[in-house]
Amino acid sequence: MTLVCSARLSAHRLDEYLQAARIGVGADRVHLEVSLTPGVAVAGQVIREIDSDGDGVIAEAEQRAYAERVLAAITLRVDEAPALLLKRARFSFPDVGTIRSGNGVISIASDVRLSQLNGGRHHLLFRNDFGAEKSVYLANALVPDDDRVSVTGQERRVDQSELTIAFSVRETDAPAGGYMWIGLVGAALIAIAWTIQQKVS
């Protein structure tokens, strides 16, 4: 996947706005990374959208505002639950000159906590509706860093602005110590019941 993405990133046309998304799924969270690379022909427009005061410097507040716009245009939904709210973006922006050259990559990331998913099959829908004009999309699932989770399939829209990730979650095995305590409690309850019965009789 890394090789494919790297090849596509290096080969993007000068008039494209390349948006590459990587999505990591876990039993209790979703991780999103988006890399945006404006080609030379569209870089000026992108800079104007980011640099709202036109001073030629991309201030942190302008970076944050743009990152939030990108995330607001992205839909993430697990199974049939409501769409996830993407907040607390982490981001890095190159300087204006690097963006204008067509070599600047804007990086945005966000993590969303989930209620613990039940064991079994699930699916995650990703859709990117940001900057449709002149935009080219890539979307891939990351290898899960949770050994309880396995990605079982990926289905993409032709333009890759939408991706559905099928994955499965393995039930967490109860620790051996947990079973031991259950047995001890059960034995204690039986002993108490037997003692009460002896006193009554």
Identify whether the C-beta of residue 164 lies closer than 8 Å to the C-beta of residue 125.
yes
Say if residue 68's pLDDT is above 80: yes
Average pLDDT over residues 84-90: 88
Confidence at residue 146, expressed as pLDDT on a 0 to 100 scale: 87
Closest of 74, 71, 70, 66 to residue 128, by C-alpha: 74
Residues with Cβ < 8 Å from 194, sequence gap 6 or more? none
Confidence at residue 201, expressed as pLDDT on a 0 to 100 scale: 53
Confidence at residue 157, expressed as pLDDT on a 0 to 100 scale: 96
Confidence at residue 174, expressed as pLDDT on a 0 to 100 scale: 44
Domain spans of the chain?
2-170, 176-201
Residues with Cβ < 8 Å from 159, sequence gap 6 or more? 136, 137
DSSP element (H, E) containing 48: helix 40-50
- Confidence grade of residue 88 (pLDDT, cut at 50, 70, 90): confident
pLDDT tens for 148-186 read: 999 999 999 999 999 999 999 998 754 444 444 445 545
pLDDT tens for 10-61 read: 455 788 999 999 999 999 999 999 999 999 999 999 999 999 999 999 999 9
Residue linked to tokens 């030379």: 40
- Confidence grade of residue 193 (pLDDT, cut at 50, 70, 90): low
